[in-house]
Amino acid sequence: MSKKIKRSGSFYVYILECSDGTFYTGYTKNIEARIGLHSSGKGAKYTRDRRPVKLAWVKEYKYFKRAFMRELEIKRMSRKKKEELVRSCLKINIG
């Protein structure tokens, strides 16, 4: 029997900036806990050797499918497009 995923609620798509300047993209139901896992080295294999990581971008979605599809879309973006996404978020949050 497989574990059922709750398909509505709060889902977060996020971009982390790693210590080597690379980006990692993921999604989660609990952003604070997930960032904590990445920071402690218990998150994704990719981020373990690239700590410390910092949250560069995050967006909340109401439905799982939308969050999952956005994560895939971001993962397919070029580095330049990811940088533009992060910068656009910073402008909105600062100003």
**Domain harbouring 68, CATH code:** 3.40.1440.10
Question: pTM value?
Answer: 0.85
Q: Is 19:50 a contact under the CB 8 Å cutoff?
A: yes
pLDDT for 93? 46
Q: Is residue 76 in some structural domain?
A: yes
Q: Is residue 35 in some structural domain?
A: yes
64-90 per-position pLDDT tens digit:
999 999 999 999 999 999 999 999 876
Q: Is residue 2 in some structural domain?
A: no
Burial (Cβ within 10 Å: 0-12, 13-18, ≥19) of residue 45: exposed
CA atoms of 87 and 48, how far apart (whole Å)? 25
Q: Is residue 1 in some structural domain?
A: no
Q: Is residue 3 in some structural domain?
A: no
- What is the count of structural domains for the chain? 1
Is pLDDT above 90 for 91? no
Q: Which positions ≥6 away from 36 have C-beta within 8 Å?
A: none
Domain range enclosing 76:
8-94
Burial (Cβ within 10 Å: 0-12, 13-18, ≥19) of residue 91: exposed
